[in-house]
Structure 1
Amino acid sequence: MIFRQLFDQVSGTYSYLLASRRGGEAMIIDPVLDKVDRYLQLIRELDLKLVKAVDTHLHADHITGLGALRDRTQCVTVMGDQTKADVVSMRLGDGDKLAVEGLVLDAVYTPGHTDDSYSFVMADRVFTGDTLLIRGTGRTDFQNGDPRQSYESIFGKLLRLPDSTLVYPAHDYKGDTVSTIGEERAFNPRLQVKSIEEYVDLMQNLNLPNPKMMDVVLPANLRVGLHQEEIDRRGWSLSAAAAMAAPGRPDIVLVDLREQSERDRHGTIPGSVHLPYTALQENLRPGGILNELANATGKQLLFYCAFGERSAMAVQAAQDAGLHSARHISGGLGAWKKASGTLTS
């Protein structure tokens, strides 16, 4: 496995690049905007294809790199179901899988620091975001933080992992790079409490100043910006209401770009073909399935995904490949559901 821990000194943020092999698919966890050039250089040097950029929660001390990585690599941006950030093209719930070629992480909902905090668990390690830090825990006094939820997330979920599990947090300000669940259970001063009430009292009396850039960073991370508006302006989209007539039409192929886990969880539009976004470029090339459907049969490609971001990028890629009839459902399956569109399980 390829594993790199990368550090932003300004914000004290750790980012993590993971892949199963050189030349394979990669993901990055908690990227920082100012370090995007460095990430992309390393990705090129390791001959990797970045397919997912993930934030463990909405950060308040640095601007996320999710949007820039999406724009420069067309990767899928990932956060938890509860996030209010608009950059997200794939959302995970508690117990879902975060996967790239050769690697699978379990998503664990661990609110408390924020109400959208997730940790990601592998066989031998856990990426804890700001929920559990090395010899500390994430503050709970803003972004709908809750010390009781923090206690339940840590004691009820993270500390139930094997003691040997490596702990990789999103931040450290002392120079520590890694810990273990057993170490934190034994030596983390905030975990040496006898009850949830004692932990709540401790967290409510930290009296910490707000992060220096919080008033700038939070609005920036909430509205990183989707590109659907430009696709709409060019006339390459259909509203969910207009797309209602597409299922069953012989001249249209509905293409579901989501992963199988998303289809299983949320259902599909009847009659749609499943071609995941990660295989888009292969399918658009001459001889690829999408290329053949559009050119050999004259069918119009109508893409959709969860919220419209992946499908908007797919339309642009299809147009660039000369498939000029390609369109997408603006707002994706979320808009389809709001319009009371039919779904099959």
Structure 2
Amino acid sequence: MIFEQIATGGCQSYLIGCDQSCVAALIDPELSQIDHYLALAAREGVRLRYLIDTHTHADHFSATRELARRLDLPVVMHRASPAPFVDMRIGDGEMVVLGKLRLQAIHTPGHTADSMCLLVDDRIFTGDTLLIGATGRTDLPSGDPEQLYDSLFNKVLKLDPALKVYPAHDYKGRSHSTIGDEIATNPRLQKRDRAEFVEMMRNLNLTMPTHITEALRTNMSGGKTVASLLAEATSAVPFMSLAELKSRVEAGEDDLIVLDVRERDAYEAGHIPGARLLPRGQLELRVNQDLPDPTRRILACCELGYISTLAAATLRSMGFVRAVALDGGMKAWREAGYPLRSGKEA
């Protein structure tokens, strides 16, 4: 067996493959690690065949959709998954074949309705159903403590105690546990009475994941994250430094239009001398009126540099091929002590 565990903060993902047929799958891949996964597959000499999510993640961004697009590979999830881009929907007891390996799905709803564990040889990938020293929470969309109790006590914990447990998350640097160790030491599993377990799960009072809305939106729909949009824009846009812009403004360069894409109140509180105001939300609607010459060099600026990067990418896509973004933003401009003007446009 070919096996690699990849940690991204508290998220755990896995490359598992057959060393005889040199085919592999990624389990619970994380979006920021795509290049790492591809390098691992190349290093191990395997061809990726499947991309598997054990459930709809709410606390990180899945890489399955992006990898599927790049590599033309099938996305595998339980049949209860709401995601429309899933290619292979599997049910309880069904298997994914990887050469000589067999990954058997065990439907374990509770953390989410589509949660499943994957049993292969001497290990089980438990997603967020069973964690090391904990369990998945049940207070997120489609969570159910009653179902989690059944999934744990009537399915997972009845498996071989020697099975190695590899969860989708661990925040203490641990790589794995065993079923036996979790039965003996996991505090939540000591509540073996159904009513006590359910009451405990309903009263955990955990904080919500930082990016829950965005994670659920992208993982359920295949939509793009804000970080992905910014990365795409950054790859398509040149930048100008603060010092370079300062020298051009002081020289009164006629060929450069400084376009402030913040809202009016922020612009009037302080802007780069000579900058024009065109809020990002009005850009597409006003661009023909405000920027009639597509051959001009346009520099977009905003408070922190993110919105201006998106604005510059939009301008380029609309035919303003000399659009660039300010490297940094007005915050950095002010901190550098560079000149400002306040009030309305001249």
TM-score by length of 1: 0.63
2:123 maps to which of 116, 122, 125: 125
Which AA in structure 2 matches 1:87? F
Name the counterpart of 2:135: 137
Change (3 A) 1:90 1:194: closer
2:84 maps to which of 79, 83, 86: 86
Check the 8 A contact 1:29/1:54 in 2, yes or no: yes
1:30 maps to which of 19, 22, 28: 28
Check the 8 A contact 2:20/2:100 in 1, yes or no: no
CA drift of 1:14 comes to: 0.6
Check the 8 A contact 1:2/1:22 in 2, yes or no: no
1:213 maps to which of 192, 211, 232: 211
Check the 8 A contact 1:51/1:75 in 2, yes or no: yes
CA drift of 1:74 comes to: 1.2
Structure 2, unaligned runs of 5 or more: 224-346
Which AA in structure 2 matches 1:149? Q
2:111 maps to which of 94, 110, 113: 113
1:60 maps to which of 58, 61, 86: 58
Check the 8 A contact 2:20/2:99 in 1, yes or no: no
Q: Tell me, in whole angstroms, the C-alpha distance in 1 between the residues paired with 2:43 and 2:98.
A: 19
Name the counterpart of 1:299: none
Confirm whether residue 76 of structure 1 aligns to residue 48 of structure 2.
Answer: no
What is the aligned-residue RMSD (CA, Å)? Answer: 1.3
In terms of Rg, which structure is larger?
2
SS of residue paired to 1:108: strand
CA drift of 1:170 comes to: 0.3
Check the 8 A contact 1:2/1:18 in 2, yes or no: yes
Which AA in structure 1 matches 2:127? G
Check the 8 A contact 1:130/1:169 in 2, yes or no: yes
After the TM superposition, which parts of structure 1 deviate over 3 Å for at least 4 consecutive aligned residues?
Answer: none
Check the 8 A contact 1:109/1:117 in 2, yes or no: yes
SS of residue paired to 1:40: helix
Confirm whether residue 4 of structure 1 aligns to residue 20 of structure 2.
Answer: no
Q: Tell me, in whole angstroms, the C-alpha distance in 2 between the residues paired with 1:198 and 1:191.
A: 11
CA drift of 1:123 comes to: 2.5
Q: Tell me, in whole angstroms, the C-alpha distance in 2 between the residues paired with 1:40 and 1:8.
A: 15
Structure 1, unaligned runs of 5 or more: 226-345
1:91-130 Cα distance to aligned partner (Å, 9 max, x none): 0001111112121011000000011100011121110000
SS of residue paired to 1:141: coil
1:143-192 Cα distance to aligned partner (Å, 9 max, x none): 21111110100000000111100000000011111000000000000011
CA drift of 1:23 comes to: 6.4
Name the counterpart of 2:99: 101
Q: Tell me, in whole angstroms, the C-alpha distance in 1 between the residues paired with 2:95 and 2:65.
A: 22
CA drift of 1:22 comes to: 6.6
Check the 8 A contact 1:95/1:108 in 2, yes or no: yes
1:217-258 Cα distance to aligned partner (Å, 9 max, x none): 110111116xxxxxxxxxxxxxxxxxxxxxxxxxxxxxxxxx
SS of residue paired to 1:177: coil
Which AA in structure 2 matches 1:166? K
SS of residue paired to 1:28: strand
CA drift of 1:87 comes to: 2.1
Q: Tell me, in whole angstroms, the C-alpha distance in 2 between the residues paired with 1:47 and 1:190.
A: 41
SS of residue paired to 2:77: strand
Equivalent pairs counted in the alignment come to 224
Q: Tell me, in whole angstroms, the C-alpha distance in 1 between the residues paired with 2:124 and 2:21.
A: 24
Check the 8 A contact 2:124/2:163 in 1, yes or no: yes
Q: Tell me, in whole angstroms, the C-alpha distance in 1 between the residues paired with 2:125 and 2:85.
A: 21
1:246-287 Cα distance to aligned partner (Å, 9 max, x none): xxxxxxxxxxxxxxxxxxxxxxxxxxxxxxxxxxxxxxxxxx
Q: Tell me, in whole angstroms, the C-alpha distance in 1 between the residues paired with 2:14 and 2:86.
A: 18
Identity %: 46
Q: Tell me, in whole angstroms, the C-alpha distance in 2 between the residues paired with 1:222 and 1:114.
A: 12
Name the counterpart of 2:202: 204
TM-score by length of 2: 0.63
Name the counterpart of 1:223: 221
Name the counterpart of 1:178: 176
